[in-house]
Amino acid sequence: MSNPSLTYRPEIDGLRAVAILPVVLYHAGIAGFPGGFVGVDVFFVISGYLITSIILAERRAGRFSLVNFYARRIRRILPALFVMMAACYPLAFVLLGPSAMAEFAGSVTAATVFVANLFFYDISGYFATAAEVKPLLHTWSLAVEEQFYLVFPALVLLTWRMGARRQAVLLAVLALASLALAQWDITQGKADRAFFMLQTRLWELMAGALAAFWLSSPRGQALRAGGRLRHGALLGLALILFAVIAYDGETRFPGLAALPPVLGAALVIVCATPRCLAGRVLGLRPVVFVGLVSYSFYLWHVPLLVFTRIGTGREDAALMLGVCALAFGLSCLSWRYVERPIRRMHALPARRLFGTAAVAMALVGGLGLAGIQTEGFRAFYLERRLDPVSRASFERYNPDTMHARLPDEGCRFSDEVLSDAFVTRFEDCARIHGQAIFLLGDSHAANVYRALRATALPPFFVALARGGCRPYQPEKKCSYDAAVAFVQEHQAAISRLIFHVSGSHYLLDDRGEGDSDAAFEPGAPLRVAVDNIDKTAAYLARFPAALDVVWLGPFAEARVDLEDPVNYHPDRLRFNPVSLARFSALDGMLKARAADQSAYRYISLVDALAFDGDTLVQDGCLTFSDVDHLSPCGERLFGPAIAAALEGASG
């Protein structure tokens, strides 16, 4: 029986359209697609299916060649990718400051050598606010696929003599192991690793590979041809749609949460035929055409959206939809004049193709290296792009903003986790000093800890503070549950527990996401995550009733892009007035919430620090190091006021 896996299936291109449209609309911030990122998972399944189908068909025909396989991958992936990156480079040069340009250049180099997933895993998370201004963030998924292409063909060839059934069992075992590893990372608070790494995404590609094995078997061909599986395709589309609508940036993803879109995509691949309802819809010519251009559409939409946000400072729905339309137009041109002609160059000798690819990689990667070596063309930027006043201000106020870890001083110490060493040291200090002040929270608590370290607080002062850790978002890496047990056990040795976390995570943008720059734009409505406030209050109520528990309220955040040298002009180096208003409103809500309970006392840092527009620069100090964290000199400057607020409200 002929193998249908190499027969053109328009419903697969239709499935590509189902994958790409939610991704684009999610990245554009269009309401109604909070889980649109799952389209990437659908792409992974499609890729696993197509690659495996090709390998199986050619290997059974006795004409599979690794050289030809990688030649096809080069023609398919690299030309459109390199054209996109080359076109984005001058845009980045014009729109980005030195720091952002250096990062962009690094992402160009990483994407060129297929390690973009490692690059972005190292510097940020996919759902982080900063991800919205990373033009090449989406290339992480291409890197995962490219790494898969490097190992999967060899795996199939090495196990060929096992037979198709045993090969499929082996792939299923690998898929289950990959899924288990992804879920383990999620439960251990390593969501970024689960998101970006091949080993935790392999199962999604394997799902497509298993679909290919099934459809290449006589039973699979017979069932599909007989139409007995046709309702499975509708179920598959429903599962994908469910994830697109029900998921959002707070979903613990990928792991088990990725099962609906992955299984949905596999069901469509296995069950859809041109005769069933799902197959007819997916086979409509407009739907198929979107699928045909989906690769270029995926490449172009993210950088265009990012550059528009940076260049205009806007991201309203009408503008973003217009940018998506532009990206679609460019993707059509890319498909017509880049993808199709090069993919049809079958007569080009492999040596010349690989040589040309190597030269192109060297040129594009060289552009990236140039940006890295020059620190984002920093000298040129400062000399040619900044006026003398802004340049002088930037050079004066742009110190190294990395916080060096303060050396321990006796019984003043901090850690990110409640380790055995932390407990032992605490107990030793308790025997010497009696009771401690215990500070608990996220990276802002670390700010407060460093600010208080220089004041005259008692000598027994400890902090358990880790960035990204908040009690309403439980993760294994965070020690909130362990802290409750620790405090209960050591209550006699603690005079006061101070809780402090960033307030920007209680303030939401129009997509319902916290810590978003969009929430601090002029005209943005005030949206507060009341559920998260209630969960925080419930967490504080878990501590012993006799303990003095203090919720030290959030300080107002600068919400000014301090990576952009343009903002260092004295007229712009001012506190974001929208942020001042937002934090004042949030502070009022937290005060009101505290008045209705007795589990904790609330101390307002909004009142204690009284920030205004001039707060960003005081006494020769740039008080913030980024949009929301205090700088080292800001910590020293505000430490006494924070200490006074705590002492003034002492029980």
By residue count, the chain amounts to: 651
Burial 277-313 (b: 16+ CB within 10 A, else e): ebbebbbeeebbebbbbbbbbbbbbbbbbbbbbbeee
Question: How does pLDDT run across 333-362, given as a tens digit for each residue?
Answer: 999 999 999 887 776 788 889 999 999 999
Q: Which of 102-111, 275-284, 297-306, 455-464 has the lowest mean pLDDT?
A: 455-464
**Residue where the block lists tokens 């607080």:** 457
* Window from 247-251, 519-523, 577-581 with minimum mean pLDDT: 247-251
Q: Which of 193, 195, 190, 205 is nearest to 43 (CA)?
A: 205
CB atoms within 10 A of CB 602: 19
| Least confident stretch, 96-105, 510-519, 588-597 | 510-519
Q: What is the pLDDT of residue 648?
A: 78
**Rounded CA gap, 489 and 219, in Å?**
62
C-alpha dist (Å) from residue 17 to 20, 23, 182, 286, 338: 5, 10, 27, 9, 20
Cβ neighbors of 335 (< 8 A, separation 6 or more) are 80, 292, 293, 295, 296
What is the overall mean pLDDT for the chain? 90
Mean pLDDT of 515-539: 91
* CA–CA dist 204, 179 (Å, integer): 8
Q: What is the pLDDT of residue 6?
A: 66
**What is the distance between the alpha carbons of residues 564 and 13, in angstroms, rounded to a whole number?**
41
Q: What domains, with CATH codes, occur in the chain?
A: 4-382 (no CATH), 412-648 (3.40.50.1110)
d(CA 476, CA 306): 32
User: Mapped to the 3 state alphabet, what secondary structure does 42-78 carry?
Assistant: HHHHHHHHHHHHHHHHHHHCCCCCHHHHHHHHHHHHH
> Which pLDDT does position 402 carry in this prediction?
46
| pLDDT at 518 exceeding the cut of 50 | yes
**Residue 127 pLDDT > 70, yes or no?**
no
The mean per-residue pLDDT over the stretch 308-327 comes to 91
Mean predicted confidence (pLDDT) in 627-646: 93
Going by pLDDT thresholds of 50, 70 and 90, the confidence category of residue 128 is low
**Is it the case that residue 490 has pLDDT exceeding 80?**
yes
Question: Tens digit of pLDDT for each residue in 272-304?
Answer: 988 889 999 999 999 999 999 999 999 999 999
Query: Locate tokens 């993760």: which residue?
Result: 475
The tokens describing 105, both together, are 């250049």
∠ CA 430-433-438 to the nearest 5 degrees? 60
**CA gap 415, 424 in Å, rounded:** 13
The pLDDT of residue 188 is: 78
Mean pLDDT over 179-190 rounds to 89
Task: Quote the pLDDT of residue 313.
Answer: 77
C-alpha–C-alpha distance, residues 223 and 218, integer Å: 9
Q: Which residue has the higher pLDDT, 345 or 145?
A: 145
Cα(53)–Cα(48) distance, integer angstroms: 8
Pick from 505, 534, 507: which is nearest to 597 by CA? Answer: 534
Most confident of 48-62, 387-401, 489-503: 489-503
How confident is residue 2, by pLDDT bands cut at 50, 70 and 90? very low
Asked if 536 and 505 count as a contact pair (C-beta separation under 8 A), the reply is: no
From 553, 613, 627, 629, select the one nearest 580 (Cα to Cα). Answer: 613
Predicted confidence (pLDDT) per residue in 5-40, tens digit: 468 899 999 999 999 999 999 999 898 999 999 999
pLDDT at 4 over 50: no
- Across residues 470-478, what is the average pLDDT? 81
Determine the Cα–Cα distance for residues 50 and 346; give it in Å rounded to an integer.
19
CA gap 302, 338 in Å, rounded: 19
- Is residue 403 scored above 60 in pLDDT? no
In the prediction, which pLDDT does 3 show? 41
pLDDT-based confidence at residue 105 (cuts at 50, 70, 90): very high
Q: Is the pLDDT of residue 193 over 60?
A: yes
Task: Tell me the average pLDDT across 521-530.
Answer: 90
Bond before 254 cis per omega within 30 degrees: yes
Rounded distance between C-alpha atoms, residue 37 and residue 44, angstroms: 12
**% of the chain surpassing 90 pLDDT:** 69
Give, for 429, the enclosing helix (H) or strand (E).
helix 420-433
Query: For the CA atoms of 363, 368, 374, 376, what is the dihedral angle to 10 degrees?
Result: 140
Report whether pLDDT(585) > 90.
yes
The confidence score (pLDDT) of residue 125 equals: 63
Q: Which two tokens stand for residue 562?
A: 């301090």
Label residue 1 by pLDDT band (50, 70, 90): very low
Tell me the per-residue pLDDT of 547-568, one tens digit each, with 9 for 90 and over: 999 999 999 999 998 888 888 9
The share of the chain scoring above pLDDT 70, in percent, equals 95
Tell me the whole-structure pTM to 2 decimals: 0.79
Q: What pLDDT, on a 0 to 100 scale, did the predictor assign at position 407?
A: 65
Rounded to whole angstroms, the Cα distance separating 514 from 508 reads: 5
For every residue of 341-385, DSSP letters joined together read HHHT-TTS-HHHHHHHHHHHHHHHHHHHHHHHHTTTTHHHIIIII
- Spatial CA neighbour of 5 closest among 41, 51, 38: 51
Q: Are strands 461-465 and 436-441 parallel, antiparallel or unpaired?
A: parallel
